[in-house]
Structure 1
Amino acid sequence: MRRIRRHNRAHTFVEEAMSLEYLARLENAHFPLLVRKASDVDQVRVLKAAECITASVPQGLLNMPFEDVGEAVVFGLTERGERVLRAAGPPPEPPLQRGRRPADDF
């Protein structure tokens, strides 16, 4: 019997955008980084599952659902995480060419 998985695309897109923003914040962090805010620990879990970061998120009483605090340690970005950030960045601008006018492009 096949299982049918239902996805809420809007919810998934928001989660991905939030995780990408958190990944961008981690890009300039000093590692190892201790994370204690529960919502940030959730972001660490998502990014670790996506193999974008290396991190430790212990299971136990401190990391229970619906708590305000948690604990995780981020050790760094993976190659995949760096690729994701590069791909999500703005495209590079084309080089300027001397002697061309913008009207020449049409």
Structure 2
Amino acid sequence: MSMNPFCEIAHEEALRMKESGVASEVIVVSMGPTQCVDTLRTGLALGADRAVHVDAPSTFYPLTVAKLLKVLVKVEKPGLLILGKQAIVDDCNQTG
């Protein structure tokens, strides 16, 4: 698995914000099968502080992704959420 270009851009911007002191923590999130953990490891290696994996055997519909993100926002209480534009076709709905 690899991080798609849209999520890489979102991840880079989040890291820039952290480096400038605007953000205190960068959390990467991936939704999909176990193989998505590799994408999260990439995000951690690039500088994210934490990673969250929502394990699911099948791909999600956009509404399901939105509902899961809503729950994650309630739990994590982020000040800002930066998302990639779309997931690439690789059985892994990724969000930076």
Q: Is TM-score (shorter-chain normalized) higher than 0.5? A: no
- Rg larger in 1 or in 2? 1
**What TM-score range do you get, normalising by the shorter chain?**
0.3 to 0.5
Higher-RCO chain (CA-CA 8 Å, sequence separation at least 6): 2
TM score, norm. by length of structure 1: 0.30
